[in-house]
Amino acid sequence: MDKYEIIYKDMKEVDSYEAIVKKVFDKCFEEENIQDSKLYITVTFTNPENIQKINKEYRNIDKATDVLSFPMFEKEELDKKIEEKDFLHEDVLGDIVISIPKVEEQAKEYAHSFERELSYMLVHGFYHLMGYDHIEDEDKKEMRKKEEKVLEDLQILR
């Protein structure tokens, strides 16, 4: 079973995106020791207009952004599920929405590849789904460490 579903909203499908999604999520699931779970993620690739609408509707922020994450579990609930290996049923870990034009723009801005920027967005979104955030400095450090480890292990470097 795939660990993800990809939706293209108002843009054409690109096969190379799926290869990146698979590689990144396989590593993320392995890193968090949930590769045998029946958890899966929905990834939507879209444009700035759509992500702005979603951001406004769900977060009351009327601006475009690069990535949005919508987790289905609270961190404690998910941690317990993982600890107890409670994976009898298929469960949605959450949804990630990524603005592809923003990924392209940021890859240029940070002077690294499109693959690196998209991979970072996917890892970042994944860890939000796992219950991590970057509001407090300590939490941000923990989240960044996990993100960087996945990207380094995959040799997706800056």
pLDDT at 91: 87
Helix ranges, the chain (H)? 15-31, 48-59, 75-83, 100-109, 114-129, 137-153
pLDDT at 118: 98
pLDDT at 1: 62
Considering the entire predicted model, what is its pTM? Answer: 0.94
Q: Domains of the chain (ranges plus CATH)? A: 4-153 (3.40.390.30)
Encode 134-156: b = buried (16+ Cβ within 10 Å), e = exposed: eeeeeeeeebeebbeebbeebeb
Q: In tens digits, what is the pLDDT along the chain, a chain of 158 residues?
A: 678 999 999 999 999 999 999 999 999 999 999 988 889 999 999 999 999 999 999 999 999 999 999 999 999 999 988 888 877 778 899 999 999 999 999 999 999 999 999 999 999 999 999 999 887 888 889 999 999 999 999 999 87
Encode 106-132: b = buried (16+ Cβ within 10 Å), e = exposed: bbeeeeeebbbbbbbbbbbbbbbbbbb
User: What is the Cα–Cα distance from 67 to 102, expressed in whole angstroms?
Assistant: 9
Q: List phi, psi (to 5°) of 137.
A: -55, -45
Q: Are 66 and 121 in contact (CB under 8 A)?
A: yes
pLDDT at 134: 81
Nearest Cα residue to 11 out of 97, 121, 124, 105: 97
